[in-house]
Amino acid sequence: MLHIMFRYNWLVREQWYRWCEDIPEEELLRIRTGGVGGILHTLFHIADVEWSWIRALQGKPDFQESFENYATLEKVRKLDEAFKAEVEQFVNAWDGSMENRPFYDPQQDGRVAVDTWGEVIRHVIAHEIHHIGQLSVWAREAGKKPVSANLIGKGLMDVSES
Query: Which domain does 54 fall in, by range?
Result: 2-141
The answer to whether the beta carbons of residues 38 and 24 sit under 8 Å apart is: no
* Residue 32 neighbours by CB distance under 10 Å: 17
Whether the predicted model's global pTM rises above the 0.85 cut: yes
Under 8 Å between Cβ of 131 and 42 = yes
User: Which parts of the chain fold into alpha helices (H)?
Assistant: 2-20, 25-29, 39-57, 73-92, 117-141
| CA atoms within 13 Å, Cβ hemisphere of 19 | 24
Q: Is residue 53 part of a domain?
A: yes
| pLDDT in 10s for each residue of the chain, 162 residues | 788 999 999 999 999 999 999 999 999 999 999 889 999 999 999 999 999 999 999 999 887 889 999 999 999 999 999 999 999 999 999 999 999 999 999 899 999 999 999 999 999 999 999 999 999 999 999 999 999 999 998 888 876 644
What's the distance, CA 89 to chain centroid? Answer: 15
Q: What is the CATH number of the domain that holds 37?
A: 1.20.120.450
Residue 149 falls inside a structural domain: no
43 domain-assigned: yes
Does residue 8 belong to any structural domain of this protein? yes
**Does residue 156 fall inside a structural domain?**
no
For residues 135 and 16, the answer to whether their CB atoms sit within 8 Å is yes
The helix/strand/coil state of 38 is: coil
Residue 77 lies in a domain: yes
Has residue 153 been placed in a domain? Answer: no
Q: Say if 152 falls within a structural domain.
A: no
Q: Report residue 85: phi and psi, to 5°.
A: -55, -45
Into how many domains does the chain fold?
A: 1
Size of the chain, expressed as the number of residues it contains: 162
